[in-house]
């Protein structure tokens, strides 16, 4: 018997970052030496003090359901973190913890988007944003910023994209996939535009907040008049190397936080009680406790950037945040003999994976055809070898 699947599922594309990771595992299982630079996951272990907090929670039998938006201890830790790091004061009923920031975002979209509502996505954007808008029956409006703009859209571009159907704007800063960081002045220029459109909810994904090298983080909700209409999304996966713990959270106006709480109560209820205690320990700690990871990422950034910045036909800005390099390879693609069958960044990524055993993610996944994302959340040894293979691939395509 063939089961008929819903249009919601059949029209949904698989995450290309997950697809590349799956292909990488398959090749590794076949015995090939593949260097995976496709997933956005810190390669560090979770810090010991966080693991100890989780162990204590287990020993203390903290293993029952908590309140749907999170245990009171975690909520207080999130509340204090927002005030300490972001200058934002959220009441306890304005905070919801979820099973990862990914759930936090879909909770918000399902709470505010009706069929046909438009959601502006500054592109390049994180791979799942478009699919999430689709699942909420919304319409994604992609606004592309190229390498000449450091992959950041302007206030004028934002204003041009707004229509009477616009319901939200969803963006990340520091950005996945580009590592770009919106400055305070750039965000204030956005706010000047948004003041004229009070129906628009701003969803600010700040999951890479603590991974910045040359900039100071600024939260959109800190702008006067924007706090009441902004959802600040964050979590512990990236900054604290806790991807598998699955713990994200939001600060939002009480009515919207309540809606997310209501939805979550039907989908998953509260996140893992043990993960909550681990996250509480992470958020109560001073951000300086993870400085060693940020320092390591900065060294890796330099190592990869210095190797790839001069590749023929590649344009690679030095990113101020996250742990990605995002290269525009449009010019390079145009110099390759079309007979070789490599005319897109997706083609190049598959060639690189199959022939040179390096896994990257094509820009098509992020609304930016002609680009590629390179995660440098890997050892310097692996990164240097990956760069050698990438250089060899580029030279072979140009010289054959």
For residues 124 and 144, state if they share a domain. Answer: yes
Whether 54 is covered by a domain: the verdict is no
Q: Which of 257, 286, 315 lies at the terminal end of a domain, its last residue?
A: 286
Report the distance separating Cα 208 and Cα 145, nearest Å. Answer: 20
What is the arithmetic mean of pLDDT over 258-274?
97
Are 276 and 302 in the same domain? no
Pairing of the two strands 248-251 and 95-98: antiparallel
Q: Could you tell me the pLDDT band of residue 234, with boundaries at 50, 70 and 90?
A: very high
Residues 157 and 278 in one domain: yes
Nearest Cα neighbor of 78 from 234, 230, 212, 209 is 234
Asked whether residue 182 falls in the same domain as residue 273, the answer is: yes
CA triple 15-19-20, angle to 5 deg:
120
What is the C-alpha separation between 258 and 262, in angstroms, rounded? 6
Q: Which of 258, 286, 314 is the last residue of a domain?
A: 286
Q: What is the pLDDT of residue 63?
A: 97
Nearest alpha carbon to residue 109 among 2, 205, 220, 203 = 203
Q: What does the pLDDT read at residue 161?
A: 98
Q: Is 169 domain-assigned? A: yes
372 and 237 part of one domain: no
Same domain, 91 and 162: yes
Domain extent for 221: 60-286
The dihedral over CA atoms of 158, 96, 111, 174, expressed in degrees to the nearest 10, equals 20
Residue 18 predicted with pLDDT over 80: no
10 Å Cβ neighbour count for 55? 13
One domain for residues 197 and 302: no
Regarding whether 237 and 104 lie in a shared domain, the answer is: yes
399 pLDDT tier (thresholds 50, 70, 90)? confident
**Would residue 50 count as lying in a domain?**
no
| 267 and 166 fall within a common domain | yes
Cα(52)–Cα(226) distance, integer angstroms? 38
Cβ of 72: how many Cβ atoms within 10 Å?
Answer: 11
Q: Classify residue 175: in a domain, yes or no.
A: yes
pLDDT at 400: 59
Length of the chain: 400
As a whole number, the mean pLDDT across the chain is 96
Q: For residue 248, give the CATH number of its domain.
A: 3.40.640.10
Q: Are both 174 and 298 inside the same structural domain? A: no
| Global confidence as pTM | 0.96
Domain count, the chain: 2
Q: Name residue 362's beta-bridge partners.
A: 372
If asked whether residues 256 and 241 sit together in one domain, one would say: yes
Judged against a pLDDT cut of 80, whether residue 15 lies above it is answered with no
In tens, the pLDDT along 178-205 reads: 999 999 999 999 999 999 999 999 999 9
Compute the average pLDDT of residues 231-236. 98
Residue 210 lies in a domain: yes
**174 preceded by cis ω (within 30°)?**
yes
pLDDT level of residue 9 (50, 70, 90 thresholds): confident
For the stretch 80-118, pLDDT in tens is: 999 999 999 999 999 999 999 999 999 999 999 999 999
Q: Is residue 24 part of a domain?
A: yes
Alpha carbon distance 270, 103 (integer Å) = 11
Shared-domain flag, residues 250 and 342: no
Tens of pLDDT along 345-379? 999 999 999 999 999 999 999 999 999 999 999 99
Tokens of 198: 């009070």
Q: How far apart are CA 167 and CA 173, in angstroms?
A: 20
**Is residue 314 assigned to a domain?**
yes
Q: How many other CB atoms sit within 10 Å of the CB of residue 75?
A: 24
Q: Is residue 301 part of a domain?
A: yes
- Residue 12: pLDDT band (50, 70, 90) is confident
- Here the CATH number for the domain that contains residue 309 is 3.90.1150.10
- Interatomic CA distance for residues 225 and 232, integer angstroms: 14
User: 89: how many CB neighbours lie within 10 A of its CB?
Assistant: 11
Q: What is the mean pLDDT of residues 40-49?
A: 96
Listed residues 243, 263, 286: the one ending a domain? 286
Reduced 3-state DSSP string for the chain: CCCCCCHHHHCCCCCHHHHHHHHHHHHHHCCCCCEECCCCCCCCCCCHHHHHHHHHHHHCCCCCCCCCCCCHHHHHHHHHHHHHHHCCCCCHHHEEEECCHHHHHHHHHHHHCCCCCEEEEEECCCHHHHHHHHHCCCEEEEEECCHHHCCCCCHHHHHHHCCCCEEEEEEECCCCCCCCCCCHHHHHHHHHHHCCCCCCEEEEECCCCCCECCCCCCCHHHCCCCHHHEEEEEECCCCCCCHHHCCEEEECCHHHHHHHHHHHHHHCCCCCHHHHHHHHHHHHCCHHHHHHHHHHHHHHHHHHHHHHCCCCCCECCCCCECCEEEEECHHHHHHCCHHHCCCCHHHHHHHHHHHHCEECEEHHHHCCCCEEEEECCCCHHHHHHHHHHHHHHHHHHHHC
pLDDT at 102 (0 to 100): 97
């Amino acid at each position: 018997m063939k089961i008929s699947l819903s249009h919601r599922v059949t029209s949904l594309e698989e995450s290309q970052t997950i697809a590349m990771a799956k292909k990488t595992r398959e090749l590794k299982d076949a015995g090939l030496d593949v260097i995976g630079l496709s997933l956005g996951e810190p390669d560090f272990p979770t810090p010991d003090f966080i693991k100890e907090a989780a162990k204590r929670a287990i020993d203390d039998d903290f293993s029952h359901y908590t309140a749907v938006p999170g245990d009171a201890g975690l909520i207080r830790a999130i509340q204090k973190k927002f005030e300490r790091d972001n200058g934002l004061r959220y009441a306890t009923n304005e905070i919801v913890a979820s099973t990862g920031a990914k759930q936090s975002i879909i909770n918000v979209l399902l709470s505010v988007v009706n069929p046909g509502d438009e959601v502006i996505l500054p592109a390049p954007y994180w791979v799942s944003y478009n699919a999430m808008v689709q699942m909420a029956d919304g319409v994604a409006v992609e606004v592309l910023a190229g390498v000449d703009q450091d992959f950041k859209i302007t206030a004028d571009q934002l204003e041009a994209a707004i229509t009477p159907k616009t319901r939200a704007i969803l963006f990340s800063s520091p950005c996945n996939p580009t590592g770009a960081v919106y400055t305070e002045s750039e965000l204030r220029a956005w706010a000047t535009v948004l003041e004229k459109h009070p129906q628009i909810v701003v969803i600010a994904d700040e999951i890479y907040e603590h991974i910045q090298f040359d900039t100071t983080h600024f939260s959109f909700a800190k702008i006067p008049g924007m706090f009441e209409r902004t959802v600040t999304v964050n979590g512990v996966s990236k900054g604290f190397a806790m991807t598998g713990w699955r713990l994200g959270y939001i600060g939002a106006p009480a009515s919207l936080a309540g809606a997310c709480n209501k939805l979550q109560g039907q989908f998953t209820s509260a996140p893992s009680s043990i993960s909550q205690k681990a996250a509480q320990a992470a958020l109560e700690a001073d951000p300086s406790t993870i400085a060693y990871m940020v320092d390591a990422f900065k060294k890796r950034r330099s190592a990869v950037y210095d190797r790839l910045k001069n590749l023929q036909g590649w344009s690679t800005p030095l990113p101020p945040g996250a742990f990605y390099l995002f290269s525009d390879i449009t010019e390079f693609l145009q110099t390759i003999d079309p007979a070789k069958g490599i005319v897109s960044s997706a083609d190049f990524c598959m060639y690189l994976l199959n022939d040179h055993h390096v896994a990257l993610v094509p820009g098509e996944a992020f609304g930016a055809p002609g680009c590629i994302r390179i995660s440098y959340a890997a050892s310097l040894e692996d990164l240097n070898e990956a760069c050698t293979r990438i250089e060899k691939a580029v030279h072979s395509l140009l010289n054959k």
